[in-house]
Amino acid sequence: MSKYNYILFDLDGTLTDSGEGIINSVVHALEKRDIAVPDRAALRVFVGPPLLDSFAQYYGMDREEGMKAIADYREYFTDRGWKENSVYPGIPQVLEQLKNAGAHLYIATSKPEPFAKKIAEYFDLAKYFDGIVGSTLDEKITKKSQVIDLVLAQIGEDYRGKTVMVGDREHDVNGAKENGLPCIGVLYGYGSREELEEAGAAGISETVEGLLTELL
């Protein structure tokens, strides 16, 4: 029996290791602006948070310039970046066990919903989820709190006290808190223990398999 009736999963850095495709797409957008690309490891910060926020935070782009950078990012990502990605070992087995324990699973991601659904289908993950919800391509809905709110609307009032978020970055924790939910942080993705603890994660799993201890 699962501790929770409804479990919301982040996608990037939680279900799939998508860093390569995301970083390559960011590099493509920066090079089109003649912006010197730093050590690629420095671009890991782009994995997870909304792109518009990241381009603003790390490169000082206003909304107009940020939207143009996102268009260039998607040029690469749509062509091949979305496939430069892999499922973390053990994730399908964990999802299977959670479903067998009676939990309803959802994806709640800041990635645009069409891409999220395409990736979930391609990697044979979609079959585990009752719903896949992401941001909008027009960037009107990008924040994790907004995405989670959309998932909760699908679930209905029954979610209260029975729902948890799982993610690897502070925006997962913060988005959950804004919706009155606990969040289990994972350390095998792109965040750190310090980041997750400071944000107020309700629990932390160091490994994919450790999620079962937190959720069952």
Domain locations along the chain: 6-17+86-215, 19-83
CATH of 19-83, one of 1.10.10.1100, 1.10.150.240, 3.40.50.620, 3.30.70.20: 1.10.150.240
Three-class DSSP category at 167: strand
- Quick check: is 12 catalytic? no
> What is residue 18's predicted lDDT score, i.e. its pLDDT?
97
> What is residue 158's predicted lDDT score, i.e. its pLDDT?
87
Distance CA 142, CA 137 (A): 9
Residue whose C-alpha is closest to residue 132's, from 122, 115, 117: 117
Contact 56, 202 (CB under 8 A): no
For 96, the token pair is: 């299977």
What letter would DSSP give residue 32?
T
Question: For every one of its 216 residues, what pLDDT tens digit does the chain have, with 9 covering 90 and above?
Answer: 899 999 999 999 999 999 999 999 999 999 999 999 878 999 999 999 999 999 999 999 999 999 999 999 999 999 999 999 999 999 999 999 999 999 999 999 999 999 999 999 999 999 999 999 999 999 999 999 999 999 999 999 889 899 999 999 999 999 999 999 999 999 999 999 999 999 999 999 999 999 999 999
Which is catalytic among the residues 10, 12, 17, 172? 10
Report the predicted TM-score, pTM, of the whole model to 2 decimal places: 0.95
> What is residue 38's predicted lDDT score, i.e. its pLDDT?
76
Distance CA 138, CA 38 (A): 28
> What is residue 39's predicted lDDT score, i.e. its pLDDT?
87
**Residue 184 main-chain phi, psi, to 5 deg:** -95, 120
> What is residue 177's predicted lDDT score, i.e. its pLDDT?
98
Per the listing, tokens 């279900």 go with: 15
So what CATH class is 6-17+86-215? alpha beta
